[in-house]
Amino acid sequence: MSEEEAYEFVKNTLKQERIVPYTQRELDIIHSVESCVNCGLCINYCPVVRAVGLDRFSGPRSIAVELSRSPPEFWASVDKIYLCTGCGTCREVCPRDVNIPEVVNLVRARLFAVRPDLVPSNLIKTSKIIATHNLAFEPWEDPEEKIDSRDMRLERLGIPFVEDPFVENAEVLFYPGCQAEERAQEVREAGKAVLSYFGVNYTLLREMSCCGLPARLIGDVKTAEHLADILTKKVKAAGVKSIVTTCAGCTSSLSQMSQDRKWGIPVYHMMEYLVEVIGIEKVREAVDIKPESEPSKITVHDPCHLIRHTSRQMEDYARELLTVFPIECVSSGVADSCCGGGGMVGYHSPDVANAVTQENVAGIEQSGAEQLLAPCPLCTAQIENALYRSGSDVDVVDFTVFIAQHLKPKE
């Protein structure tokens, strides 16, 4: 057999065995796994293990240890790999910096590319929606119904309507994300109301497109990269100096994208923008405070994508902003505990997602808070749903919506 024939033979054998060589980036992640010392610390902190037990989800250590072997073992991991919410708690506590959420993304990407028959069908369905519409949700069939839904939400929440600005040479791009664009429209509207109130020269994208995070979490790297290409073109064409989002996932995803694709501009969550750029004193002057109609006790949820994937400083920003209100900010003891909805677990296994949320529900209930603020529409929906089903009367409000609700009317 000639050298060329031998090469073809090996290549075809690898193809038949569905073995694909690692890229350098994948190798870096796998090397991080090899440093695992099997201490088990991550298991004690994993919210999914705590919620459903090791029989259902064998936990981060098993992902770290078992998946550091040979590619075929990836296929054996399929029962657990879609149950990780990507919260990053294991990475935060790991003494060896093993990057489990990235390992999970790597394995999901391999499964999607080589064994799509093993990917849960509802994730395949979602990936098709994303690839078709460039959004994580199917757009509304009737645009008039979408407007009616938006207006009802604004009226119920007392948020002023601001026309969509599509501005040339704007300083800031406001990027609401798919959830606020197609579902939690009050968050998109609240973001505009807040930025307009403070006189920010901002624009929206004429055509909103997904940042690619949901596709990446499903393992559909091709669609995720395509969406990142589209967004990069839009951001460069807009020529803005910064981006503001109202979603935790978008904040971490766009921050990473800005770094990887050299956008050269910062990405802020709205809370961060208010504290760092607008300034807390201006916020204090802007809010309309009616102590008699305010809930007296409020608690906060700190989304994983803000505190563990972006910066722990986000916790301080949320609490600093609340100092301008005449309320008591109480601790639930579980503010930084994963809501369960991340990592597409809410789509794939809602029973597991809801089991994880029970820890939040118990902490929020015992805190005595009348209201929970969450700076992310996904966490808001997940926790609100769980509290409602538990019979709780704690009100759940998105953080940006809360700020927009309290702005003084302008003369």
- The contact set with ligand SF4 (CB under 6 A) reads 36-42, 46-48, 60-61, 64, 84-90, 94-96, 98, 100-101
Residue closer to ligand SF4 (CB basis): 99 or 185: 99
Residue closer to ligand SF4 (CB basis): 10 or 39: 39
Residue closer to ligand SF4 (CB basis): 26 or 66: 66
**Residue 239: CB minimum distance to ligand SF4, A:** 36
What is the b/e burial string over 66-95, where b = at least 16 CB atoms within 10 angstroms of the residue's CB?
ebbeebeebbebeebbbbbbbbbbbbeebe
**Residue 295: CB minimum distance to ligand SF4, A:** 31
Q: Report the alpha-carbon distance of residue 42 to residue 319 in Å, rounded.
A: 28
Q: Report the alpha-carbon distance of residue 52 to residue 30 in Å, rounded.
A: 27
Residue closer to ligand SF4 (CB basis): 82 or 325: 82
**Residue 126: CB minimum distance to ligand SF4, A:** 19
**Residue 189: CB minimum distance to ligand SF4, A:** 32
Tell me if residue 310 falls in helix, strand or coil: coil
**Residue 83: CB minimum distance to ligand SF4, A:** 8
Residue closer to ligand SF4 (CB basis): 176 or 303: 303
Tell me if residue 187 falls in helix, strand or coil: helix
Structure tokens at 115: 């064994």
**Residue 42: CB minimum distance to ligand SF4, A:** 3
Which DSSP string do the residues of 5-49 spell out, in sequence order? HHHHHHHHHHHHTT--PPPHHHHHHHHHHHT-----HHHHH-HHH
Structure tokens at 60: 């981060």
Q: What is the 3-state secondary structure (H, E, C) of 138-169?
A: CCCCCHHHHHHHHHHHHHHHCCCCCCCCCCCC
Residue closer to ligand SF4 (CB basis): 86 or 191: 86
What sections of 294-344 are H helices per DSSP?
304-307, 313-322
**In terms of Cα–Cα distance, which of 323, 329, 333, 324 is closest to 297?**
329
Residue closer to ligand SF4 (CB basis): 65 or 230: 65
**Residue 120: CB minimum distance to ligand SF4, A:** 16
Close Cβ partners of 24 (under 8 Å, ≥ 6 residues apart): none
